[in-house]
Amino acid sequence: MQLANYFNRRSLPGFVAKRYAALRHRGKQFVESAEANEAQDIAYERLGEVGDGAFGAISLREGGTLIVDQAAGTVRLSESRVWAGGYMHRVPAATLVGVPMVGSVAIGVAVTDVAVTDVDDPELKGIVPDTASHGEPLAARLRYDAVWALDGDPFYPIFTLVDGQLPNEVTPPQDSAAEMTVERHVREDHGSHVVDGFQVSAGGYDAATGEQTYVIGAGVLRAEGRRVSRTVDQRYRRVENPTLVEVNGETHLYPDGGVVTLNNGPIDSVQTVTVIKEVTKSVTHQLAGGSDALPDTPVYAIMSVAQGGNTYAANADYRLTADKVDWSPNGAEPSAGSTYSVTYRYIETVIPQAIGRSTIALEAAVVGQPVTASYRWKLPRIDIIAIDLDGAVVYIEGVSSRYNPAPPRVPAPLAPLVRISNRWGIEPNIEDVDQRKLTEADVRAMLRTLLDFGDLLSQIALERDIQERDPASRRGSFVDPFLDDLQRDLGIAQNAAIADGILQLPVDFTPIFADLGSEAITLPYVSEALMSQPYRTASQIINEFQAFAPLPSPLTIDPAVDRWNITQSSTRSSSSSSVKRVNSYRPDLLGTSLYGTTSRSTSRSVSTRLASRSVEDLEFLRAIEIAFNVTFFGPGEELQSVTFDGLDVTESVTGTRVANANGEMSGTFTIPENVKAGTKAVVVTGKGGSRGETSFTGQGTLTTEVYVRRVHTTTTYTTIDPIAQSFLMPAMRQITGVRVEFAGKGDAGKPVAIELRDMDGSTPGTEILAAGRITGDFALGDPQTDRETNWTLLPFEYPVLVDAGEWRAFALLTDDADHAVAIARLGDQSGDAPTGFDPRRQEWVRENPAGGDLFKGSNGKTWLAMPDADMTHQIMVARYTATSRTFVIGSYDLSEIDAAGISDLVVLLIYEEPTVETKVTIELVRETGEIVAFEPNTRLELDDYLTEEVTLRMVLTGTETLSPVVMPECQILFGRLAETASYISEAIALDQTHGDLKVRSVLEVSAPGTSSVAVAVGDDEAWSEQADPASVSLGDGWIEREYLDGPVSAPELRERITLTGTPRYRPLVRNLRVRATEV
C-alpha cells in the first residue's frame, strides 16, 4: 500500500521481531499517528491469530458454488465470504475465462489493498462542527478488494481443478474448529473410510497411449478423518509401467497350426524365435571323400541323401560335419562332379506372424521339432488406488513379482478405494477394498442376519436329527471346511497342512535371525532445527520437587522379538498356518483371497463323538539364548538377578556379572522351556538397587509403534519429577531429538532422560512415543553470549514420525537436584523484579515465543502449566541426503540350510512407511544375477528348489524429508515345500442295517500344471482309490470333483486325500463333503 505521510513502526525492518504486545501511553507525552497505526495493527494481528486458530489460515465460510464448463474453458463462482490473511473478505460472483482444463489449476482469492483518502472520498473530511478538524482531511481508509482469480499477490487458493474436474468439493464452513474436532474423532476411532459412493470401475485401455482409464465415482469419504466430497465422477488415466523380465532361449515343440504358447505372459516383445525347417536341395559333389556345403545354415540334421535310385546310409556313407555333408567314411558316395539330392533340417530365425498375450504365431516349420524363443514379459503386480486429504487420486504401486504379488500397504493419511490386479494391455481386475462406513441400517441388517443364522442352525440341527433317525435316508455323512485339524484322525500319520479353509502341501521352515545392528535403518540424514525457541531469560530446575529415586537403567536385549513359536501338534497345519499369519497385520486384506496376515494363538480341548481324543494347539516361546546389555549401573555393581516373565533365569546367565567402570554389564540368558507365547517382561537387577527392564515379544504381529513402546522405551515405575514442553508440529516430519540449553549442572553421574509424549487434552499424556538419555556431564550454556555450543542434543533412539498439526510434548527427567535448563519467560518491567529480558539478544520477550506451554509435575501424570514460559529448545528433524539406500541383510548358502533346497522365503521386519513416497522392498539376488523383489512380511513362493548361495537385501526409498524406518529386528524363515502330503479324515460311521452303501465324495480342487489330487476311501490297512470323477468348473482354476464309490460294506471308513506337487505347481483343496446312502 502506497500512502503519502503514512507512518507505522511495524513496517520498519526488525520491528515486529521485538514482539511489542501493546502501547502504554503516559501523561504529558506526545501521541503520533504512527502509534495509532501501530496499536491498530497489533489489535488486528491478534484478531487474525484468533481467526486462524478457529477457522484455519484460509477458510471458505459462505457460498463457494463452482460450475466448470470444460468446453468453454470457463469457471463460474458465486458470491462468497472467505477468511484469509486475517480478514473476512466478501468476494463477488465472477466468471473466470481461459482456465486450463489439463493438469492442476488452483482457483482462489486475489486480494488488493487500496488506500482511500479524502481526495478519493470527500466524506473522509472532519464532520464535527465547531472544531478545528471540521472540513479538514482526516485519516485515510484501507479497503481490501478481493476477487476470484487464478493467481495474485497475495493469492489464497480455495479450489483445485485436476483435468477440469474438482476432486474435492469444498463445503462451507471450511476448516472450522468443530470440523477439526470431528476429524480427530474420526481419525482415532474409525480411520480412513468411504462414507458413500467412490466406486471405481475400469474405463478401458488405450493401446495408442498405453493408458488405463479408471472411472472414480462421486461420493463422500473420510481420509484420516478429513471430509472429501465430490459431486461428479472423475476419469483417471495412468500409463501402464510394468516391470519386464527377459527370457532367453525358452524351448518348445512346434505344434500343429504353428501357434506356440510361451511359459510366461503377457508378452511385451519378442527378440528372437528360431524354428526347424525341412527342405530338399540338389548338391554337387566336389571331391571324393570330401565335404559338400549345404546352402541353409545352421543345419540341424540330415534326413536323407539320395542319387537316382540309390539312398546313402548315415554314418556309414556320410555324416553331418560343420553344416556340410561329410563323405569321409569309407562307404559309398556319388562320383565327383555329379549332383545328388539332400533332405535336411536347418534352424531359421523367424519373425512371429502374430503376438498374443502369451502366444506367438509362427510360419510353417517341422511339427514336433524344437522352437526357441527369447522375449520379454510383464510381471504381475497389485496396486492400490486411494484418495488423499485434498481429494487427489493417489496411485500406489505394489512390488512386481512372478510368484505371489501382494498389494502395497496404504499409509494412514490415505483412504484406499480398490486393489488393481494388473493384466497389462487389457482391463485390470478391480477389487473393492470395502473400507466403508456401516450405517445403523447396515448394523441392524447384520443383526437380523445373525438372528436368521441362529434360526437356521436350529433348523439344521433338527433336520440332521430326523435324518439320522430315517432308515431309508442317509447312512453316514462327513464334512470338513478345513478350518482346523478337528475333523482329521490324528492317530494316523498324515502331514497335509490346513490354513484358512485350504488343504495344501506343508512347508517346513527354518527360522534364522539376521543381525541388522543396533540402530534403526533409514535413509542417510542430517538433523536440522524445524522449530526453535532461542530466547533465555531464566532457568528451571528439572527435579524441582526433589524426587531422588534413580532412573531405570537402560536395558537392551538381542533378539528382542521372536516371531516363530513352537506349537504342540501332530500335523504340519499349525506351522503352515503360522507362516501365513506371522506377517504384519493387514486389515485391508481380511475376507479376501489375499488374507493370511494376522496372528492368533489358541488354546482349546475338543472331544469328538467317534473317538475319545483331545487336541491341543498351544504356542510356546522357543528356548533360545538372549543377549542383554544394561547401562547406568554403579561402577563395579554386581548382578543380583535376571527374570524372564517373572521366572528367575539367573543361573543361565553367562558373562562377568559385574558392571565395568562405566556402569555397563553384558551377558546372555536362556528362555525357559514351556513359556507361552506373548510379550514378556525382562528385568535385570543389581545388588546396589539398579534396575533395568524391557520386553521380549514372541508373537507374529508387531507394529513399529508397539515395538518401540514395548522394546525400546523404558517404563518408569518410581516417582519422577519431570518438566515438559508442548509444541505443535507444522509439517509431517521425523523427529530425531531435541536440543536444549542447560543452565545448571549437579552430579555428572546423574543422567538426564528425554521422552516424547502424546498430549492428553491440554497436558502431556502418559504414552511414551520415543525416549533417550544423556549423561550428566553436559556443557552449560552461556547466558551472556548467543553461540552454537550453548545447545545440547538429547537424541531419540529412532526417528519418530509426527503428523502436521499434531500436538506433542517432550519431557525431561532426572534424579539430580541441581540439573536445570534455560527457559524464556514473558516480560515484566516492574521495578521490583523485572523479568523477560534476554541479555544475549537485547530483547524483551513480549509474547509466547514457541506457541506451546511449559509444564512441571511431581509424578509425570499431574501437571502444572506455566503459560507465560517456554523451554529454550530446538525440535530437531531429519533431512535425508539421499532418496534411496540399499542395505544388505546377509548372504546365505541355501544348501547348508536345507540340502534338498529352499522353495519358500519370508523376511520378517518391523518397519514404518509414512507416505506412499516411502517404501521398503526386499530383494533376493541369485547367483545368476536375477533379482527377485518382494514385500517384507509376505511369503515368497519360488517355482523351484534353490540350493545356491543368495543375497538378501532391503531397498529403502523416500524423499528429502521422509524415510522408511526399519527397526533392527529381522528374522528370516527359509522353507521347503513337501512334494507330497496326505490328509485322513476321522472315521465316518456307516449304518449297514439294510445292506451295502454307496459313498459320494465331493471336494473342490485347484491342481495347476503337473500337480495332482488323489482321493481314496477305506482305512489305514486298505484304501480304495476313487477315480473318474464328475467335474464342474467353478472359475479361477477351481474345479468341483464328485466321486461315487460302492458298494461299501465296512461299518466305518475314512477319506484320504493325497496331494502331489512342486514349488511351481501347488495343489489346493477345499470344502470336503462325504455322504453314504443306500445302493
pLDDT in tens, 321-373: 999 999 999 889 999 889 999 999 999 999 999 999 999 999 999 999 999 99
pLDDT tens-digit series, residues 344-354: 999 999 999 99
**Model pLDDT, residue 767:** 81
pLDDT band at 293 (very low <50, low <70, confident <90, very high): very high
The pLDDT value recorded for residue 483 is 82
Alpha-carbon distance of 892 to 890, in angstroms, equals 7
CATH class of 561-568+615-702: mainly beta
pLDDT (tens digit, 9 = 90+) per residue, 551-607?
778 888 888 877 765 554 545 555 555 554 444 434 444 444 443 322 222 222 222
Residue 9 vs residue 110, higher pLDDT: 110
Q: Confidence class of residue 713 from pLDDT cuts 50, 70 and 90?
A: very low
Residue 564 is predicted with a pLDDT of 67
Dump pLDDT digits (tens) for 964-1018: 999 888 889 999 999 999 999 888 887 766 677 788 889 999 999 999 999 998 8
Per cent of the chain over pLDDT 90 is 40
Which residues touch 151 (CB under 8 Å, ≥6 apart)? Answer: 106, 110
Task: Give the single-character DSSP code of 314.
Answer: B
Q: What's residue 826's pLDDT? A: 80
Rounded Cα–Cα distance for residues 970 and 759 (Å): 32
Among 699, 706, 503, 408, CA closest to 582: 699
What pLDDT was estimated at residue 274?
Answer: 95
pLDDT value of residue 702 = 42
Task: Report the distance separating Cα 1054 and Cα 988, nearest Å.
Answer: 6
Residue 1066: its pLDDT value, please? 93
Return the CATH number of the domain spanning residue range 477-505+980-1078: 2.60.120.260
Give the angle subtended at the CA of 932 by the CAs of 572 and 971, to the nearest 5°. Answer: 50
Q: Would you place residue 700 in the very low, low, confident or very high pLDDT band (cuts 50, 70, 90)?
A: very low
What's the pLDDT score for residue 278? 94
Q: Quick check: bond before 554 cis, omega within 30?
A: no
CATH number, domain 525-551+718-828+835-880, options 2.60.120.820, 1.10.3720.10, 2.60.120.10, 1.10.645.10 = 2.60.120.820
Where does the pLDDT of residue 849 fall: very low under 50, low under 70, confident under 90, or very high at 90 and above? low
pLDDT one-digit tens code per residue, 910-953: 888 888 899 999 999 999 999 999 989 888 999 999 999 999 99
pLDDT tens digits for range 121-166:
898 888 888 888 888 888 888 899 999 999 888 999 988 888 888 8
Q: Which of 187-196, 562-571, 1057-1066 has the highest average model confidence (pLDDT)?
A: 1057-1066
Phi and psi torsions of 53, nearest 5°: -70, -35
**Cβ contact 220:196 at 8 Å:** yes
Q: How many helices (H) and strands (E) does the chain have?
A: 6, 77
- Considering 19-28, 297-306, 496-505, the range whose residues carry the highest mean pLDDT is 297-306
d(CA 174, CA 56): 8
Q: Give Cβ neighbours of residue 304 (< 8 Å, ≥ 6 apart).
A: 311, 342, 343
* Residue 319 confidence (pLDDT): 94
Distances (CA, A) of 869 to 18, 533, 739, 744, 787: 17, 11, 17, 18, 22
SS (H, E, C) 408-419: CCCCCCCEEEEE
- d(CA 29, CA 37) in angstroms, rounded, equals 17
- Would you say residue 617 has pLDDT above 50? no
Lowest mean pLDDT of 359-368, 604-613, 620-629, name the range: 604-613
Three-state SS at 816: coil
pTM: 0.70
Q: In this predicted structure, what is the pLDDT of residue 70? A: 86
- In whole numbers, what is the pLDDT of the chain averaged over residues? 84
pLDDT of 422 over the 90 cut: yes
CB 104 within 8 A of CB 166: no
Tens of pLDDT, residues 865-885: 888 889 999 999 999 999 999
Cβ partners under 8 Å of residue 611, min gap 6: 489, 491, 986, 987
| pLDDT, tens only, 490-499 | 888 888 998 8
Question: What is the per-residue pLDDT for 831?
Answer: 53
pLDDT-derived band at 88, boundaries 50, 70, 90:
very high
Instruction: Write the DSSP symbol of residue 224.
Output: T
Q: What is the pLDDT of residues 735-754, one digit of tens each?
A: 999 999 999 999 888 889 89
* CATH label, 16-178, candidates 2.30.30, 2.10.260, 2.60.520, 2.40.50: 2.60.520
pLDDT at 804 over 50: yes
- At CA 958, angle to CA 953 and CA 963, rounded to 5? 85
What are the CA-CA distances from residue 771 to residues 559, 703, 721 (Å)?
Answer: 20, 17, 16
Q: Is the pLDDT of residue 1047 over 90?
A: no
The reported pLDDT for the residue numbered 487 is: 83
Average pLDDT (1046-1054) is 78
Q: Is 333 helix (H, G, I), strand (E, B) or coil?
A: coil
Percent composition of the chain: helix, strand, coil (DSSP 3-state, to 5): 10, 45, 45
Is residue 1053 within 8 Å of residue 1019, measured between CB atoms? yes
CA distance to 261, 520, 589, 760, per residue, from 704 (Å): 46, 11, 19, 21
Q: At what angle do helices 33-55 and 177-189 cross, to 10 degrees?
A: 30
Architecture of domain 507-520+881-977: Sandwich (2.60)
